[in-house]
């Protein structure tokens, strides 16, 4: 919870204005303040954070909400795991995991037989 120096809630318009100014000064593209929440959850998941812990941090009541919102990350991690296993088993066809634009499920480079 962010507050003013007097302890009152920050007006959302002021928060957005200040955040946008900070992004511009840092030379970063404009994003919504709420996008920081999504980025944090995505980074935690990519670094091996447990889905149930991320659910609790986000305040989701049901883990299905968290799992659904971050399914694209989990699919990419699953493909990476398959590629790693294939490489460990000596599959010479592996080069690297294909990276999409985030709109489509990732394509695993490993040939699953």
How high is the pLDDT of residue 48? 87
DSSP string, 52-90: HHHHHHHT-SSHHHHHHHTHHHHHHHHHHHHHHHHHHTT
37: which 2 tokens?
């929440």
Contact partners, residue 53, CB within 8 Å, separation at least 6: 44
- Domain range list for the chain: 12-69
Mean pLDDT by 10 residues, the chain (113 residues): 86 92 96 91 90 93 90 81 85 53 56 52
């Amino acid at each position: 919870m962010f507050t003013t120096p007097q302890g009152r809630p920050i007006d959302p318009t002021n928060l957005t204005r200040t955040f946008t100014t900070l992004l511009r000064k840092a030379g970063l593209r404009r994003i919504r303040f709420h996008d920081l929440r999504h980025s944090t959850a995505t980074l935690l998941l990519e670094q091996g954070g447990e889905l149930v812990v991320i659910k609790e941090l986000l305040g989701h009541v049901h883990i299905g909400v968290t799992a659904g919102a971050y399914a694209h990350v989990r699919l990419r991690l699953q493909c990476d795991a398959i590629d790693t296993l294939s490489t460990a088993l000596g599959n010479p066809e592996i080069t690297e995991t294909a990276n999409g634009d985030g709109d489509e499920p990732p394509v695993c480079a490993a040939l699953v037989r």
